[in-house]
Structures are given as structure tokens and as C-alpha cells.
Structure 1
């Protein structure tokens, strides 16, 4: 069990650590993750998994959740645990290994906010994932992309006008070089990522906001390169996620068969229809441009070009996501944490509500829908028998997203 905050499970005694014991979270309302309204129910847990949900359940140990709502552990489908802000000079002055130590705090801050699973969208390698799995550091369950693939001059190219190359993630034996050109290089690099332990392939089909030398509206990678990427991923049984901000890049990604479009800032009607037809998820990351603007306003040394792009896209982003929501595009929660401070993940929920999502749908996007997107719906994302006992206990109104962080009473990752 991991409890990130002192909560009602405190003092449950040694039985909670006995795998044979049965623990019951009792007296609370359960939001099961499907979008159905919360209902009064007990949740019985044994050996780290939910064994029953219903009324009048008994067990060896009781956790009193009276007056609280029990949520599934939240899932953030787009984080960067190895990034702690986008200020270039800070990035340059930190030793290579510093990011691994900073990730320890980033992981803990994320778990503390009720996010028990994340998809790291670039940066974290297999060692980071294994460190969490083996209990060396505390953090959410990790699905990892390892490296972010982009073309020369694209979103992952660290070249600057001075001629100096400053990659966001320095390649190392467990993190392949992110820049690829042509189908043959693409095939080799995807295979290298699979060998390195990637759970998902991350590709950039458009420019971006935080990359100063490209335009988020311009497409990147050709159809031949994208086809090779999705084919190699499919052969290994994994999905492809696409950083795609401009409409042309979004459409190219959907045509190639990606699982999710990340950001989607310049969605048009055709792109939305294509996503609906293909069942492609949108991971909005609405909070990300706000973080860039806030950091710049606070005095961070961020490129003027980057800040200007963030200011330009913030409102457009919200409007694009609103149209996608109205059309019924499947939505999964993601934040781009790392661009902004880790531990502020729940800010995204209120922005999703403002984009037109009903509150229950917002929570479903952060639980069951997110679990479906990343391929873990058979174990996570809902409060039901057989699933892992990742649970968040919150006081107050669970749909009051502005107050949700303050209302968290306990976070459990694999409650025993």
C-alpha cells in the first residue's frame, strides 16, 4: 500500500500488511470510473486487488470513508517525469544525471495528487520504470515512450541558430536518439525503442510550442515514414501516440493509424470527423500553454518565440477541444506535466469541464477512458472486482475540480 497523505487508513494495523487479510473501505460513495453517478457502497480488497463492491461487506480491517467519495486511481496520459520546466539555461546548467534525481520528487508529487498511473510521453527510460516497480522510489505506475521521435528541424531537434545542439533528452544507451529521417531510419529507431522497453511509440507529426525553430501548424514526417512507424509498433503489439497540433499533422497521424492525438490545438471539422471514424483518442493537455505563459510572467528565461506561440494557441486550443467534445471524440486526460510543475495535474480537470465536458465525463476521462487508451483497462481505471486496488478518497464534492486537490484525504496504490 502507498498512502501519500495521512488518511482514514492510518492505524489500520498489521493486518493491512498481511496479504491474506481482507480490508474493507466502508461508508463512502463510490465513483466507479464509468461515468455513472457515485453510489453508496463498500469496497473489499485482498492481496492488492478489489474482490467485491457492494453493501454490508466485512473484512479483517476497516477503512472508514464516511462522508467521502472513493475514486479509482487517476491516470494522466501525458507527463514528462524527467523534465522540470522548460527554461533553457536551467536545462543547460544541470548535470546529465540531475534529471533522474529530480524525477524522484516529480513522481512523488504526482502520486500525492491521486494520480496512480501515468504515461510518460518521453524522457523516462526503463530504469525509471523499474525503480518504481521494484519499490526503490515511490511513484505512479509508469507506461513509457522513452524517446520522442521527430524529423530534422522538427519538434525534437535541439539545433539552435548558434550551431549548438541542445536536445531536450540527451541520448544514452537506454534512450535512443530522437531525430529520424526516412522510412529506413524510422524502422530502425522504432525497433530500438521497443528493444529499450518502450510501452508506446511517441511521434511528432507537427511542430510544437516549446520548440522555437518550428511552427505547430506545419506537418512533419511524410506518409511513408508514419506508415513504417505504426506498422512496426503494431508488429510489437503496442500503440503509437502522436504529438499533433496543426490540422494537417493531425490528419496525417489519424490516417497512419495512431492511437491518440496529443494536444490537438488546431483541430478542424475534417480532422474531428476522421478521429470519430477511426476511434482516435484526443489527449488535450489544455493546461500546458498556460504553464508556459505563467512561467514567463514569473520571470523564467523562456524564448520569446516560445512564449508568443503559447499566448497565441491558448484560446484556440480551448475552442478546438470544445468542438471535439461536442462531436463526441473520445477524450483521455493528459497534462504535459514537466512543461509545468509536477503535482498540478488536477488543474486539467477544470479546464476539461470548461471545454464542455460534463463533470462525470471529466472523471471518466481521467480513469476508465484513460485506462482504455493506454491498454490497462483490464486492471485499472474502474472500481470493480479483479482490478488493482488503486483508490483515492476525497471529501467534499468530487465534481468540484478547483477544490479537488485540497479535498484529497488518502491515495492508495495497490491497497493491501
Structure 2
């Protein structure tokens, strides 16, 4: 069986191991049968035409990363300014392949990827995980997404082009128009910057956009059947995004009791991206000229408070979905986030749920992916070693199935080869 074999009607059997079904419960011994890209059976005593021996391993739903930037390969502004425009798309193809090989079968791109990149994956032109796109982040003038420099030049992370309009807006009318532009560009989500950020010149703690602008963005997105994801570090930005109906808060570093209570009452999801500020610090340590000192200082500030704020959200029962902000960090290393979440106080099987069934629920795809259950798409990973040990997860994945096809198999994992 290879990534190009379709084998219609044939039964692919994963046998001899345990299954983590995505619910948060501990794994149980079971086999999994896949037919025509979907899970046809989970249980014991099953048979198949093709067999993958997973003895001593765990079968899990394919992981879901709810916050990536596949078009971003480095946060060094100088490198970005010297990168030919078209090169970003070739780098994105590599980034998507690395992400899939790491065991991540679905991603939500939080700005940068356009519909053309999504179609390239859908049609099999390039390998990659299922891709949901925000395309461009909506930002106020002088906000987190404004690439204007004091010299007068424009240096955005993601230059606008026919498939990705500029996200810079001010006022209700522009908000309505820009959401409609993004809908026209085939966005799956609408992303808004509700506070300052790390890799921008603005103040991390300032709220961005006024109430009428946020309300219009969410209302116009809803009219098109889309949800809103809100970048928000600052407390007041978090609260404003939640009050106006954002489905998820990205980062959510400065959570106070009121913000947590609002998230609980509105059912808002938190996508914490604990790895992101650590990645910025690591990039700066590797090359002290790569980032301005002010940005590095903001990243250090977040590292100190992020884990504690996340723990408070976990303890309060806030709904959490895994996301990494990869692109800020290194593509293919996304799943370091799992270990960070566990170290910050989330039980390991709840961490796994946040990266499978929980993430699918946030993305409104739980009828298709996120669990090992008959009828769902067979996005599956096979994990070597204890499933509740979240250290080095990507290095322990022996097999990745995307819609029932073997998309990646670790070369040294001979026991994972179909018999």
C-alpha cells in the first residue's frame, strides 16, 4: 500500500494495537478497518485485505493544528523583504508536506495561504493536510497587521495579491466590504486582530478595533456562514472579541477572571499557541540581529505569563483546541505544543483530545474528522511509545493516513509496513 494506491473497496486493517478514539478516555485495545477512505469498523476480531501491524502502538485520529501560517517560513523581516514573491508558494508546499509528515492531517491557516494553495492540496498537486484558510487578517491602521514602517515603506509579513487582499481596514463600512472581499476570495474563516502583537510595532496590551467594527465583522461573517477567530493577547481585546461573538480567541495570554467567565458563558474556544513566544525567543537567540529588541522583549514577557494563564483557563473548564502559530516556529515541529500544554497542567489525554476531537469541534468538522469512529474520514496516525507521554510525539509517529491513504511512513518502522 502506498500513498498513491486507491484500492477501492479493499479493506485496510490496522491490527494489534490500541486506539485513542479522541474522546479523552484512555486508549483501549482494538483494530481499525478502513474502506474507501473512511473508518468502517473499530473493535476486535476484524479482518482486512491489506494489513498494517501496529502491535505495541496506538492508533489516534490525525492531529489538527488550529493556528498555522504555512506561507511563513521565517520571522526575520529582512529575509522576508528579500524573498521573491513566488518563492513563498514553493516554501509553503514544503511546509505543508512537513506538517503532514509530522502527523497533522488538518490545519487552519491563520493568514497567508490563499484558495489556490488549498486547491493544490485538494487536487493532489502537492501533499499536505486538509487546509482551512483565513487568507488575510483584518487589522486597523497602526494595528498588529499594519506593515507600515517609520521609514515610510510597507513591509507586511504577507503581501497582498489577487488571491489575498490587504486586511487593513478602519470603520464599519470598510469592515463590511473587506469581509465580503474575503468571502469572495473563498476564505473559510475570518480572522481579526483584537489586540497588539509580538511581531509588530504596536503595544501588546492595547485593544484594537472599536465595538461597532467588531460587531460588523462578526455579523457580516455570520451572514456568509463563517466564524471569526480573534488574535488577542490583551485582556480588553479578549473580552471585546468574546462579547461580539468570536468563536475562538487565539493566544489569549492575559486572561482575567472576567475574561474567563465571558468565554465560559459564550462557549468561546481558546487556541493557546504556547509554542509561539518560545519560538520567537529561540529565533532571537540563534541570531540576535533577526528581530528588533522590542519584539524579543515582548516575547519574553509572554513566556513568563502564558503558561499560568493557560492553566487558569484549563482549571475553569474553558474549551481548548490545539494551535501552534507554526511559521513563527519551525514547520514539522508543531507537536511540541502538546508537551507544553501537558507541562502547563492539562492532563495528557485531554491534551490529545484538544488536538483531535476538540479541535474538530471548534472547526465544525466533528461530523467528518477528529475521532476514530465508524463513518468518519480515516485521518489516522500510529504512535510508538506511551500515548500519555507527550514528549517528542512527531518523532514517534510511524504511519500517517490521510483519508485512508498512507501519506507517510517512517523509514525505520519496518513493523508498520502492510503485510
**TM bucket, shorter chain:** over 0.9
Give the Å deviation of 1:403. 2.8
Inter-partner Cα distance in structure 1 for 2:90 and 2:122: 16
Partner of 2:409: none
CA–CA distance in structure 2, aligned partners of residues 388 and 147 of structure 1: 29
SS of equivalent residue, structure 2 residue 392: helix
Q: How many residues align?
A: 404
Residue among 355, 379, 402 paired with 2:368: 379
- 1:236 and 2:224 correspond: yes
> 2:143 & 2:85 partners in 1: Cα distance?
23
Aligned with residue 246 of structure 1, among 214, 234, 238: 234
Q: Could you say what secondary structure the match of 1:370 adopts?
A: helix
In structure 1, what is the equivalent of residue 358 of structure 2?
Answer: 369
With normalisation by structure 1, the TM-score equals 0.95
Q: Which position in structure 2 is the counterpart of 1:114?
A: 103
> Tell me, which stretches of 5 or more residues in structure 1 are unaligned?
4-13
Q: Aligned with 2:246: secondary structure?
A: coil
Quick check: 1:295 aligned with 2:275? Answer: no
Distance in 1 between residues matched to 2:6 and 2:117, nearest whole Å: 26
Distance apart, 1:17 and its partner CA: 2.9
Q: Offset of 1:2 from its aligned partner? A: 7.1
Contact 2:336 2:393 in 1 (8 A): no
RMSD, aligned α-carbons: 1.1
- For normalisation by structure 2, the TM-score amounts to 0.95
Residues 168-187 of structure 1 mapped to structure 2, 5 A cutoff = 168-187=157-176
**The one of 157, 177, 184 aligned to 2:146:** 157
- Distance in 2 between the 1:122 and 1:405 partners? 24
Cα distance in 2 between the residues matched to 1:2 and 1:107: 19
Contact 2:192–2:231 (8 Å) recurs in 1: yes
Aligned to 2:132: 143
Within-5 A mapping of 1:11-410: 17-211=6-200, 213-299=201-287, 301-410=290-399
CA distance in 2, matches of 1:353, 1:18: 39
Partners of 1:411 and 1:62 lie apart in 2 by 14
After the TM superposition, which parts of structure 1 deviate over 6 Å for at least 4 consecutive aligned residues?
A: none
- C-alpha distance after superposition, 1:11-41 (max 9, x if no partner): xxx9x63111111111110000010110011
Answer yes or no: is the 8 Å Cα contact 1:86–1:339 preserved in 2: yes
Q: Secondary structure at the match of 2:346?
A: coil
Compared CA separation, residues 261 and 2, structure 1 to 2 (3 A): farther
Residue 364 of structure 1 and its aligned partner are, at CA, apart by 0.1
Contact 2:77 2:157 in 1 (8 A): no
